[in-house]
């Protein structure tokens, strides 16, 4: 069973928020919450609230917090607030204040990170020679 939680119009740019997300995929929800709690970034504070909301939604569906995993988490670009800064010679400079949309998908099935097996041509040749 998948549980989707969203946080829309967060006042943080996606570029600053995305590096925090990469380590969370595949973790349990409580481990992700603890990891974010001890991360010293503004985006981590926003994501802690999102994970807490996901855990609460899972409890409403009779799932335990220790047995749900982060299936996917993404940060998409939201709208931009456009502001003008005065510059020299009567010009203005456009300043864009970016927003983010966060989407968290939790599942009760274990998520396995797929690592590609490392193979070397030399290792294959050595195995052939031994036979």
- Cα(86)–Cα(97) distance, rounded to whole angstroms? 16
**Mean pLDDT, rounded, for 83-92:** 94
Q: Provide the domain limits for residue 18.
A: 2-130
For residues 103 and 4, the answer to whether their CB atoms sit within 8 Å is yes
Please state, in angstroms and rounded to a whole number, the distance separating the CA atoms of residues 123 and 55: 46
Looking at every residue in the chain, the average pLDDT score rounds to 87
pLDDT of residue 114: 56
Q: Report d(CA 13, CA 105) in Å as an integer.
A: 21
Task: Please identify which residue in the block is written with the tokens 């988490």.
Answer: 73
The 10s digit of each residue's pLDDT in 28-51 is 999 999 999 999 999 999 999 999
pLDDT at 117 over 70: no
- What CATH number is associated with residue 67? 3.90.470.10
Residues 45-72: pLDDT tens digits?
999 999 999 999 999 988 888 889 999 9
Q: What's the number of domains the chain is made of? A: 1
* Residue 102 structure tokens: 């966060």
Share of the chain above pLDDT 70, in %: 84
């Amino acid at each position: 069973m998948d549980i989707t939680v969203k946080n829309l119009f967060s006042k943080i740019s996606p570029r600053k928020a995305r590096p925090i997300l990469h380590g969370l995929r595949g973790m349990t929800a409580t481990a992700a919450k603890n990891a974010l709690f001890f991360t010293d970034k503004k985006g981590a504070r926003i994501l802690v609230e999102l994970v807490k909301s996901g855990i609460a939604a899972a409890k409403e569906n009779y799932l335990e917090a220790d047995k749900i995993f982060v299936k996917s988490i993404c940060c998409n670009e939201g709208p931009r607030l456009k502001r003008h800064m005065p510059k020299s010679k009567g010009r203005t400079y456009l300043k864009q204040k970016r927003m983010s949309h966060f989407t968290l998908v939790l599942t009760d099935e274990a998520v396995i990170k797929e690592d590609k097996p490392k193979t070397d041509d030399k290792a294959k040749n050595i195995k052939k020679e031994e036979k």
